[in-house]
Amino acid sequence: MKSNLILRKLRTEQPNPLSAGLDYKSSLEIARIMNAEDAKVAAAVKRALPQIARAIDWIEDALHSGGRLIYVGAGTSGRIAALDAAESPPTFDTDPRTVQFVIAGGTKALAAATEVSEDSPDLGRQQIAKRKPGKNDVVVGIAASGRTPFTVAAIQEARRKGAKTIAVTCNRNSPLEKAAHLAIVTQVGPEVLAGSSRLKAGTAQKLVLNMLSTGAMTRLGYVYGNLMVNLRLKNEKLRERGISIVEQAARVSREAARKALQAGGSVAITLVMLKAGVSRDVAARALRLSRGNVREAITSVKRD
């Protein structure tokens, strides 16, 4: 009973007066109400930018040291975490083990709701323990309410094992915030559909995770300018995108970019070849020594 009372007091659980009588509204009115509420999300995230920046630095340091970024969540939060983890290898050419996710209920919860599992602290501890978090890792717990037992317990366990821990939530002074070393709190307020945290809260979480992974990977040098120079050329669309990136970054013709990419095999290697005027082998070696930092690889080859 006490738990239910605490839940009802959370801002993300309260009815939104601006969407009262939603079932009487026309389709356009519903869309306008939701759009107006969604416009508040970016401002909520903006207020948390100092904490987000600190988290980016932690993740950069962890990955640079060979550690991992591990997301933990349940329901919508877990699925958003899984999406960010899944997109990191094709976007930044990272090892799939570098960015991981743990979701209450396991991978089957990606496609079907498994609400009961999120109430188990024991499962949270067990699932994160399987990943063997340590001092080189950063573990990020995501929960709109900030009180999901599975996620709170996982963060507590990861912290006990020496990992740096971060809470991403939409309510102040939550158990998750208290369990973590650092809290990113995006106070988006009541949802258009009361309690449906897949809406504004989910959007805020997605924006935060976008910043954490993209910010850290950019700081590590897996981005050149604002270009995805580490994307994997797995299909025709991505190969065409790779040609365009080489064309823009190296300032060569499209045909020259195409031929160079064919010789280089990857955008990053091709870019080092063209910018530094070196062979594929030299470019590849420079990238290995720079741990994939494209700009650093180009600079080091030019210096030599």
Q: Distance between CA atoms of 77 and 197, rounded to whole angstroms?
A: 9
185 φ/ψ angles, rounded to the nearest 5 degrees: -115, 115
Q: Is 118 a catalytic residue?
A: yes
Compute the C-alpha angle 182/104/112, nearest 5°.
130
CA distance 184 to 182: 7
State in Å, rounded, how far the first CA of the chain is from the last one: 69
As a whole number of Å, the CA-based R_g of the chain is: 22
- Tell me which of 118, 177, 191, 247 is the catalytic residue: 118
* Amino acid at position 25, single letter: K
Strand pairing category for 69-73 and 138-142: parallel
Give me the sign of the Cα torsion angle 96, 237, 296, 277: positive
177 as an active site residue: the answer is: no
Pairing status of strand 164-169 against strand 138-142? parallel
Q: Show which residues are catalytic.
A: 87, 118
